[in-house]
Amino acid sequence: MGFGQMTRLTVPKTYKLYIGGKFPRSESGRTYEVVSKKGVFLANVALASRKDARDAVVAARGAQPGWSAATAYNRGQVLYRIAELLEGRREQFVEELIATEGASKAVAAKQVDTAIDAWVWYAGWADKYVQVAGNGNPVSGPYFNLSTPEPTGVVAIVAPQASSSLLGLVSVIAPAILSGNTVVVIANHAAPLAAVSLAEVLATSDVPGGVVNILTGSPSEIAPWLAGHADVNAIDLAGAEALDWVDLMVTAADTLKRVLPPEAGVPAPSLERIVALTETKTVWHTKSLI
Amino acid sequence: MSDLSKTPSFLDYAPAPESTSILHLKKSYGLFIDGEFVKGHGAPFLTISPSSEQKIAEIANANSRDVDVAVAAARKAYDRTWSRMSGADRGKYLFRIARLVQERARELAVAESLDNGKPIKESRDVDVPLVAAWFFYYAGWADKLDYAGLGPNPKALGVAAQVIPWNFPLLMLAWKVAPALAAGNTVVIKPAETTSLSAMIFAEILQQADLPAGVVNIITGAGDTGEALVNHPDVNKVAFTGSTAVGRAIAKSTAGSGKKLTLELGGKAANIVFDDAPIDQAIEGIVNGIFFNQGHVCCAGSRLLVQENVHDEVVDRLKSRLGTLRLGDPLDKNTDIGAINSREQLDRVRELSDIGEAEGAVRWSAPCVIPDKGFWFAPTIFTNVSTSSRIARDEIFGPVLAVLTFRTPGEAIAKANNTPYGLSAGIWSDKGSKILAVADKLRAGVIWANTFNRFDPASPFGGYKESGFGREGGRHGLAAYLESAGWGSGK
């Protein structure tokens, strides 16, 4: 037994996909090697396949009615809970960002802190965006008439690929799920470790399984299948700048998906992102003439 | 027509046609570009009255060269005039237009019914009053854009390319033009090939309003004209109302162009009648839902979902109500059902109805006399319709109702949502809590409870899923023509 040794041998983690609240390997059995900026081996990460993407859409669709039916207060608390757990595992994320992105400790810590604060900021929107983006309508007749936004459904997302693998991911997931959407996200290809660790945070923070599904692998391989999937309502191409994103838009047009265009860098926190992934429903009801 | 050998019943009416003498139609109409009527360079075409097949006027046909000229006029007007004008002054022009529409309301209604085939009571009491209301509503927004909920100082997009359908020709023009101008954009709009007439009178109204040249350009033509317009490189915004197939093609051709896009496409709305509904009102609502404007309505209640235990009663009363509808001359003030807009559309309605029968549904048509000339289709309902039948899935866009049944609210919701469309829905029940719960679960942009087919400039309209995206009407409709300065995080 080696328990008394001076230098302890570490126990590396197996980095897997996150689908329907579980951590499966890719059904394809494929992995790809993730190395540090200096070329040091870090992990063999699951290389998600088309089938994994479809499984993730099924999980997201299954979770959508329950998640959108949760009260806004409840969804807000769940998002806040993510911030709490992320704070508790702050050091782990700092280490992973240093390893995968070659960031300095200060820069990595800043990214983790900003990501935590983004969860807090978006958590607060869950029970407010409807008031800000919806309104009563003064129609010319005896009708009660109200317009309210509600989640569009299942959203496929290409997470930012250039940098900030944790903050980029949080900046696209949080605005999508707070309204009740469920998501299938393709993580940062080169720096996927933070994404898998974020999945562990989500799995333990009262986020129902299937609300967030995270695929590691090649965005150019998986994104076209998600853009063409008939059970996906919207696609956020935030991180698709380096892909053939016009082709993805053309594919998405077949099923008239809502499309958010590529963005340079990490999307800033905004109400606009929340509202872009909602549908406005207008309900009329007669008023009796008394 | 009444048979003189019989005692006239209370349903027999003497003809009461609206006079066409109020119209001052020209023999031919040019394109309205840069404030003037000009010749088109494509081969002109005729617009006919669908109720008589008589020629009304010759309409110019814009080719791609004309589209270039129109877009250039809109760009020039945007750069030199409209984008520099105060919001208050833009609003005043829109108020002027609203008033001129009211002043010429009778004329516009007659032209619309003549050219489109819709009953004069609809063009007179619905279409044209809403056109005026739309301009009046958006006029007031023009100097209040900071309050539209888009952050401070939202910006106009530039030149808007707009393509509209034939079912509500002038109303669709108003839905497109009013918010675009209020937001500070200039416009090139193309009416549908079969219904250009009211847009030409509207162009005269713009001249009377002294709207600066080039702010609104109206180009007529068919699908190729529309295609050239939406794909023009100097266009910043594309707004389209029409079929899902064309909407899909536009979404593809504008992908990656940076043009802001809103699409108002097809529908297959469920009109859900629960057994506790006020049946008299529900019958009127069902009739209005599918037979308003001959069913040429994207949000028409074309699928009647009726609770099983009241199915027979509802269908019987529906048939007896349909027996009282008068089909005929659109200009007759007593007419309930006008003409189908074109032979092509009539063929489609006939084909899908035949398919419905072939697939096992039971067809019933109201016993009405079909005029010899023109395009007509008697109000028709299908019972015993399966959810997989094409008449339960495809948008027919005609006076054809598919009746399906359900037992529980859950089944009604599942059936209502079982369509790639998601534009509208109706719910009929006297129980408010049930209505609100069902409304929550329907995937549709507009839900009418104990009413149907209500429209208002203050009320956002638009679809979920393959019924398109973006909203028209209300504050939301304004946002479709503005670039947000960004809400930001405030951090």
Nearest residue in chain A measured CA to CA from B446: A282
Which amino acid is it at B356? G
Residues 6+ apart with CB under 8 A from B82: B90, B181, B184, B185, B186, B212, B215
User: Does pLDDT of B2 surpass 70?
Assistant: no
Chain A partners of B131 at a C-beta cutoff of 8 Å? none
- The pLDDT tens digits for B289-307 are 999 999 999 999 999 999 9
Over residues A214-236, the mean pLDDT reads 98
Query: What are the CA-CA distances from residue A230 to residues A61, A154, B470 (Å)?
Result: 11, 10, 20
Chain A partners of B423 at a C-beta cutoff of 8 Å? none
- Flag if B459 and A137 touch (Cβ within 8 Å): yes
User: Does pLDDT of B3 surpass 70?
Assistant: no
CA distance A8 to chain B (A): 44
Strands A135-136 and A143-151: antiparallel
- CB-based contact, A233 to chain B, within 8 Å: yes
Chain B partners of A245 at a C-beta cutoff of 8 Å? 256
For residues B184 and B146, what is the distance between their CA atoms, to the nearest angstrom? 13
For residues A25 and A31, what is the distance between their CA atoms, to the nearest angstrom? 9
The matching CATH number, chosen from 2.40.50.140, 1.20.1630.10, 3.40.50.150, 3.40.309.10, for B270-456 is 3.40.309.10
- Flag if A281 and B487 touch (Cβ within 8 Å): no
CA distance A273 to chain B (A): 10
Residues of chain B with CATH 3.40.605.10: 20-265+468-483
List the single residue in A121, A140, A143 with the smallest CB-CB distance to B451: A143
List the single residue in B248, B443, B487 with the smallest CB-CB distance to A256: B248
All structural domains of chain A, each given as residue ranges with its CATH number in brackets, are: 31-286 (3.40.605.10)
- The pLDDT tens digits for B339-354 are 999 999 999 999 999 9
User: Does pLDDT of A84 surpass 70?
Assistant: yes
Nearest residue in chain B measured CA to CA from A254: B248
Chain A partners of B450 at a C-beta cutoff of 8 Å? 285-286
**Confidence category of residue B133, pLDDT binned at 50, 70, 90:** very high
Chain B partners of A282 at a C-beta cutoff of 8 Å? 445-447, 459-461
Query: Which residue is associated with the tokens 């079909």?
Result: B370
**Confidence category of residue B490, pLDDT binned at 50, 70, 90:** very low
- The pLDDT tens digits for B149-181 are 988 899 999 999 999 999 999 999 999 999 999
Over residues B64-90, the mean pLDDT reads 98
Which amino acid is it at A288? S
Residue pair B226/B55 in contact (Cβ under 8 Å)? The answer is: no
Residue pair B53/B364 in contact (Cβ under 8 Å)? The answer is: no
Selected residue of A284, A287, A288 to mutate for chain B interface (largest B Cβ count, 10 A): A284
CA distance B468 to chain A (A): 7
Residues 6+ apart with CB under 8 A from B119: B113, B330, B332, B335, B336, B337, B338
Chain A partners of B464 at a C-beta cutoff of 8 Å? 152, 279
For residues B155 and B264, what is the distance between their CA atoms, to the nearest angstrom? 23
- The pLDDT tens digits for B9-22 are 666 788 999 999 99
Over residues A174-196, the mean pLDDT reads 98
Residues 6+ apart with CB under 8 A from A235: A155, A156, A157, A158, A223, A226, A227, A248, A252, A257, A258, A259, A260
- Flag if A282 and B445 touch (Cβ within 8 Å): yes
**Which residues of B are catalytic, by number?**
264, 298
Torsion of CA A170, A172, A173, A177, to 10 degrees: 130
Task: Give contacts of A 255-284 with B, CB under 8 A.
Answer: 255-256, 258, 268-272, 279-284
In this predicted structure, what is the pLDDT of residue B151? Answer: 86
- Flag if A270 and B489 touch (Cβ within 8 Å): yes
- Flag if A285 and B449 touch (Cβ within 8 Å): yes
Range of weakest confidence among A1-10, A56-65, B432-441? A1-10
Residue pair B296/B345 in contact (Cβ under 8 Å)? The answer is: yes
Selected residue of A144, A285, A288 to mutate for chain B interface (largest B Cβ count, 10 A): A285
In this predicted structure, what is the pLDDT of residue A290? Answer: 87
Helical (H) or strand (E) element with B98: helix B87-103
- Flag if B465 and A256 touch (Cβ within 8 Å): yes
Residues 6+ apart with CB under 8 A from B360: B384, B386, B389
- Topology of domain B20-265+468-483 in CATH is Aldehyde Dehydrogenase; Chain A, domain 1 (3.40.605)
Residues of chain B with CATH 3.40.309.10: 270-456
Over residues B72-82, the mean pLDDT reads 98
Task: Give contacts of A 18-37 with B, CB under 8 A.
Answer: none
Quick one: what percent of chain B has pLDDT higher than 90? 94
- The pLDDT tens digits for B390-413 are 999 999 999 999 999 999 999 999
- The pLDDT tens digits for A151-168 are 999 999 999 999 899 999
Chain B partners of A137 at a C-beta cutoff of 8 Å? 456, 458-460, 474
In this predicted structure, what is the pLDDT of residue A273? Answer: 96
Chain A partners of B485 at a C-beta cutoff of 8 Å? none
In this predicted structure, what is the pLDDT of residue A4? Answer: 59
List the single residue in B448, B459, B491 with the smallest CB-CB distance to A269: B491
Range of weakest confidence among A61-70, A227-236, B143-152, B231-240? B143-152
List the single residue in A135, A246, A283 with the smallest CB-CB distance to B256: A246
Nearest residue in chain A measured CA to CA from B249: A253
- Provide the token pair at A238: 């935030």
Q: At what angle do helices B105-116 and B197-208 cross, to 10 degrees?
A: 160
**Confidence category of residue B7, pLDDT binned at 50, 70, 90:** low
Quick one: what percent of chain A has pLDDT higher than 70? 98
- pTM of the entire structure? 0.95
- Flag if A246 and B255 touch (Cβ within 8 Å): yes
* DSSP labels, chain A: --TT-SSPPP-PPP---BBTTB-PPPTT--EEEEE-TT--EEEEEE---HHHHHHHHHHHHHHHHHHHHS-HHHHHHHHHHHHHHHHHTHHHHHHHHHHHH---HHHHHHHHHHHHHHHHHHHHHTTTHHHHH-EE---SSSEEEEEEEEE-SEEEEE---SS-HHHHHHHHHHHHHTTT-EEEEEPPSS--HHHHHHHHHHHTTTPPTTSEEEE-S-HHHHHHHHHH-TT--EEE-TT-TTS-HHHHHHHHHTTT-EEEPP-SSSPPP-HHHHHHTEEEEEEEEE----
- Flag if A256 and B486 touch (Cβ within 8 Å): no
Quick one: what percent of chain B has pLDDT higher than 70? 96
For residues B123 and B20, what is the distance between their CA atoms, to the nearest angstrom? 14
Over residues B45-72, the mean pLDDT reads 98
Chain B partners of A246 at a C-beta cutoff of 8 Å? 255-256
Nearest residue in chain B measured CA to CA from A279: B464
Task: Give contacts of A 107-166 with B, CB under 8 A.
Answer: 117, 121, 132-133, 135, 137-141, 143, 145, 147, 152-153
Nearest residue in chain B measured CA to CA from A117: B491
Residue pair B179/B142 in contact (Cβ under 8 Å)? The answer is: no
More confident residue, A125 or A288: A125
User: Does pLDDT of A2 surpass 70?
Assistant: no
Which amino acid is it at B149? G
β-bridge partners, A278:
A151
Half-sphere exposure of A159 (CA within 13 A, CB side): 30
3-state secondary structure of B362: strand
Residue pair B38/B145 in contact (Cβ under 8 Å)? The answer is: no
Residue pair A68/A181 in contact (Cβ under 8 Å)? The answer is: yes
- Flag if B449 and A284 touch (Cβ within 8 Å): yes
Over residues B76-86, the mean pLDDT reads 98
- Flag if A284 and B251 touch (Cβ within 8 Å): no
List the single residue in B133, B255, B263 with the smallest CB-CB distance to A140: B133
CA distance B51 to chain A (A): 32
β-bridge partners, A186:
A158, A215
Nearest residue in chain B measured CA to CA from A65: B441
More confident residue, B487 or B268: B268
Over residues A46-56, the mean pLDDT reads 98
- Flag if A272 and B487 touch (Cβ within 8 Å): yes
Query: What are the CA-CA distances from residue B50 to residues A185, B28, B194, B344 (Å)?
Result: 52, 18, 9, 11
- Flag if A284 and B454 touch (Cβ within 8 Å): yes
Taking any CB pair shorter than 8 Å as contact, residues of chain B touching chain A are 133, 149, 244, 247-248, 251-252, 255-256, 263, 265, 420, 435, 439, 443-451, 454, 456, 458-462, 464-466, 468-469, 471, 474-476, 484, 486-489, 491
